[in-house]
């Protein structure tokens, strides 16, 4: 006769086996759905970056086309400013999503630089410019299409994804039309080849816009209509059709005003289409994030169920004495580990509904409360209360660790000192409340535009400091210039525009933290003495 102990053990094993098979099957199903959602979200994030890059390349192409036939100073100034925006988004997009091949990246950036030099020297043609920009934008659009083809779409977002692709292609056709028509208003006519291109681009624009409408109609989403189906679209289509039908100027053209009017209307429409595209991508992101959240919750639920059944069967086959001894052992071990490691995040797991469970719950609550107090104490001790960034004391500790790490692994380490220009006059004129607001907005702006590995702190007063690990001098200089430009664009009510002076230094072997900071601080003061709102770099043990 089989002992009852063996029967119970076999029953438990069989139950666990069948339960495990069911859980594994469901777990794999949820994991697949989760993986699909994560991949879709990653692709949509890539598309968002690429969409921004396309948008700026289109603007650069259009301004270049206008400059070739007008050579006006205002167009040239706008083009130079556009270069900065394009380079900023290009650097960000290439770093995150696009050119994984270094040779491709090097070739693209080199070609772009050479083309800009030819435009500056007036040694290129519209054909070469259009071919370069259009080819690169087409590659970006192809990259988007290939990414979408590799993703297992949920049926709920298929039309949204297709609408995004068709709207992006419609924007590209309209971007080419913007460039061609700008040239028309500057010269008064188009060549037969340009007229043929204009006709083809207009046809593509209308076709892709129609495809877009078809997909959003199936979504029963009409919020896009006020952005695209507007008087601006009617005006843009009317001008294009009129030019294709006549091709020559019937009335005198005010070259500057007509070009600017056309450019403004076409840009308004392109920006509106871009806004709709961004909204669709955001809806897709939100859906994917909900699927990810739900899937993760389901995984946790199934894991908890499996653990619960296992614990339940174990309890039924164990004696009360073993249960109590085991429970006490867990409690003693946990408290010993907390005492030895001073790690108050440790918790008692798998609490039972008995006296020990109540005791475990109370101890966990006590540990929760203790952990919260310690974390809050650490946060207050290491954070600047006004701006929310790191304070000077904590920054010093982290920077000294970074210096040791840089010395150990022979990596570059840079530091940036910021000083808000004329901050005292802001306090004097608008009061300390406005001054505090300027400090908070300045800190948030810098924090939002640096890497996760970069650490920002308030050094004192209106001075801030940033440590940038694994950053060479040229990279630190470029980072400082980008941040200075971003700050320069701020408009804070009622203080208005603000600027900052920045000092940059790269750590020298054998240099102490104080010497390191002193060089950067001196560089910052030199930037202020040279007129403020600029970057000064400390090279070696001197400034340049």
Could you tell me if 149 and 214 lie in one domain?
yes
Could you tell me if 489 and 466 lie in one domain?
yes
- Residue 376 pLDDT: 56
Averaged pLDDT, 82-94: 81
Who wins on pLDDT, 91 or 429? 429
Max mean pLDDT range (18-27, 100-109, 253-262, 477-486)? 477-486
* Two structure tokens written together for 310: 């296992």
Could you tell me if 456 and 519 lie in one domain?
yes
Who wins on pLDDT, 231 or 106? 231
Averaged pLDDT, 356-375: 64
Domain assignment of residue 326, yes or no? yes
- Residue 418 pLDDT: 97
Place of tokens 């801030």: 464
Q: Which residues contact 93 (CB under 8 A, 6 or more apart)?
A: 49, 50, 52, 53
Domain assignment of residue 85, yes or no? yes
Could you tell me if 477 and 500 lie in one domain?
yes
Averaged pLDDT, 107-118: 83
Which residue among 278, 294, 310 closes a domain?
294
* Two structure tokens written together for 395: 């920054």
What proportion of the chain, given as a percentage, has pLDDT over 90?
28
- Residue 99 pLDDT: 47
Could you tell me if 451 and 488 lie in one domain?
yes
Max mean pLDDT range (34-38, 143-147, 280-284, 464-468)? 464-468
pLDDT digits (tens, 9 = 90+) for 162-220: 888 888 888 888 888 887 887 777 777 778 888 888 889 899 989 988 898 888 888 77
Q: How do strand 455-460 and strand 463-469 relate by DSSP bridges?
A: antiparallel
- Residue 366 pLDDT: 66
> How does residue 372 score in pLDDT terms, banded at 50, 70 and 90?
low
> How does residue 380 score in pLDDT terms, banded at 50, 70 and 90?
low
Could you tell me if 474 and 414 lie in one domain?
yes
Which H or E run includes 376? helix 355-382
Domain assignment of residue 398, yes or no? yes
Domain assignment of residue 177, yes or no? yes
Other C-beta atoms lying within 10 Å of the C-beta of residue 455: 20
Asked if residues 506 and 540 have their Cβ atoms less than 8 Å apart, the reply is: no
The angle that helices 255-316 and 231-246 make with each other, rounded to 10 degrees, is: 130
- Residue 277 pLDDT: 85
Domain assignment of residue 22, yes or no? no
Could you tell me if 398 and 378 lie in one domain?
no
Taking the C-alpha atoms of residue 479 and residue 471, their distance in angstroms, rounded to an integer, is 10
Domain assignment of residue 387, yes or no? no
- Residue 542 pLDDT: 45
- Residue 463 pLDDT: 96
Averaged pLDDT, 100-126: 76
- Residue 448 pLDDT: 96
Dihedral (CA of 10, 12, 13, 17) sign:
positive
Could you tell me if 335 and 252 lie in one domain?
no
pTM beyond 0.75: the answer is: no
pLDDT digits (tens, 9 = 90+) for 426-485: 999 999 999 999 999 999 999 999 999 999 999 999 999 999 999 999 999 999 999 999
Other C-beta atoms lying within 10 Å of the C-beta of residue 539: 13
Could you tell me if 207 and 172 lie in one domain?
yes
- Residue 320 pLDDT: 47
> How does residue 73 score in pLDDT terms, banded at 50, 70 and 90?
confident
Taking the C-alpha atoms of residue 57 and residue 353, their distance in angstroms, rounded to an integer, is 64
Domain encompassing residue 419: 392-543
Domain assignment of residue 305, yes or no? no
pLDDT digits (tens, 9 = 90+) for 397-417: 999 999 999 999 999 999 999
Nearest to 54, CA basis, from 25, 85, 77: 85
The DSSP line for 311-362 is HHHHHHTS-HHHHHHHHHHHHHHHHHHHHHH--TT----S--SSHHHHHHHH
Query: What CATH number is attached to the domain comprising 440?
Result: 3.30.70.270
Tally of structural domains, the chain: 3
Who wins on pLDDT, 257 or 450? 450
Could you tell me if 369 and 420 lie in one domain?
no
> How does residue 153 score in pLDDT terms, banded at 50, 70 and 90?
low
The DSSP line for 112-151 is HHHHHHHHHHT---HHHHHHHHHHHHHHHHHHHHHHHHHS
Residue 86 has pLDDT above 90, yes or no: no
Mean pLDDT, the chain, rounded, equals 80
pLDDT digits (tens, 9 = 90+) for 496-512: 999 999 999 999 998 99
Could you tell me if 112 and 254 lie in one domain?
yes
- Residue 115 pLDDT: 86
Domain assignment of residue 181, yes or no? yes
Could you tell me if 251 and 145 lie in one domain?
yes
Instruction: Lowest mean pLDDT of 93-102, 363-372, 451-460, 473-482, name the range.
Output: 93-102
Residue 325 has pLDDT above 50, yes or no: no
Who wins on pLDDT, 478 or 381? 478
């Amino acid at each position: 006769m089989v002992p009852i102990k063996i029967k119970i053990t076999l029953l438990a094993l069989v139950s666990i086996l069948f339960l495990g098979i069911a859980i594994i099957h469901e777990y794999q199903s949820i994991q697949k759905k989760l993986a699909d959602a994560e991949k879709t979200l990653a692709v949509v994030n890539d598309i968002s970056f690429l969409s921004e890059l396309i948008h700026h390349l289109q603007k650069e192409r259009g301004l270049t086309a206008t400059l070739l036939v007008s050579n006006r100073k205002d167009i040239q100034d706008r083009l130079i400013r556009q270069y900065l925006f394009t380079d900023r988004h290009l650097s960000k997009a290439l770093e995150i999503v696009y050119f994984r091949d270094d040779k491709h990246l090097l070739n693209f950036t080199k070609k772009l630089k050479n083309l800009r030099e030819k435009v500056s020297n007036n040694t290129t043609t519209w054909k070469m410019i259009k071919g370069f920009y259009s080819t690169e934008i087409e590659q970006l659009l192809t990259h988007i299409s290939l990414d979408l083809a590799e993703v297992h779409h949920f049926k709920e977002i298929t039309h949204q994804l297709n609408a995004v692709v068709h709207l992006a292609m419609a924007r590209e056709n309209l971007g080419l039309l913007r460039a061609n028509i700008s040239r028309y208003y500057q010269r008064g006519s188009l060549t037969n080849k340009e007229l043929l291109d204009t006709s083809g681009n207009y046809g593509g624009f209308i076709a892709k816009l129609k495809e877009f409408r078809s997909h959003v109609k199936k979504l029963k989403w009409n919020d896009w209509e006020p952005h695209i189906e507007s008087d601006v679209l009617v005006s843009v289509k009317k001008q294009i059709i009129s030019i294709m039908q006549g091709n020559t100027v019937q009335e005198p053209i005010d070259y500057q005003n007509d070009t600017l009017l056309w450019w403004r209307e076409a840009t308004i429409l392109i920006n509106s289409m871009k806004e709709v595209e961004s909204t669709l991508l955001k809806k897709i992101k939100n859906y994917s994030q909900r699927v990810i959240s739900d899937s993760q919750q389901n995984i946790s639920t199934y894991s908890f169920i499996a653990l619960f059944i296992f614990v339940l069967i174990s309890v039924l086959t164990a004696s009360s004495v073993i249960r109590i001894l085991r429970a006490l052992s867990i409690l003693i071990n946990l408290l010993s580990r907390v005492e030895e490691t001073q790690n108050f995040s440790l918790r008692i797991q798998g609490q039972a509904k008995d006296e020990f469970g109540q005791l475990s719950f109370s101890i966990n609550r006590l540990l929760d409360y203790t952990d919260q107090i310690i974390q809050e104490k650490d946060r207050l001790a290491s954070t600047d209360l006004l701006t929310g960034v790191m304070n000077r004391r904590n920054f010093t500790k982290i920077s000294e660790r970074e210096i040791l790490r840089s010395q150990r692994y022979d990596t570059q380490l840079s530091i940036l000192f910021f000083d808000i220009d004329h901050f005292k006059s802001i306090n004097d004129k608008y009061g300390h409340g406005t001054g505090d607001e300027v400090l908070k907005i300045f800190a948030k702006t810098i924090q939002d535009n640096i890497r996760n590995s970069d650490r920002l702190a308030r050094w004192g007063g209106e001075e801030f400091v940033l440590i940038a690990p694994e950053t060479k001098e040229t990279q630190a200089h470029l980072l400082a210039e980008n941040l200075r430009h971003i700050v320069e664009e701020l408009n804070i009510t009622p203080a208005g525009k603000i600027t900052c002076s920045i000092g940059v230094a790269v750590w020298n072997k054998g240099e102490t933290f104080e010497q390191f900071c002193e060089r950067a601080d001196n560089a910052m003061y030199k930037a202020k003495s040279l007129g403020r709102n600029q970057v000064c770099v400390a090279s070696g043990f001197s400034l340049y």
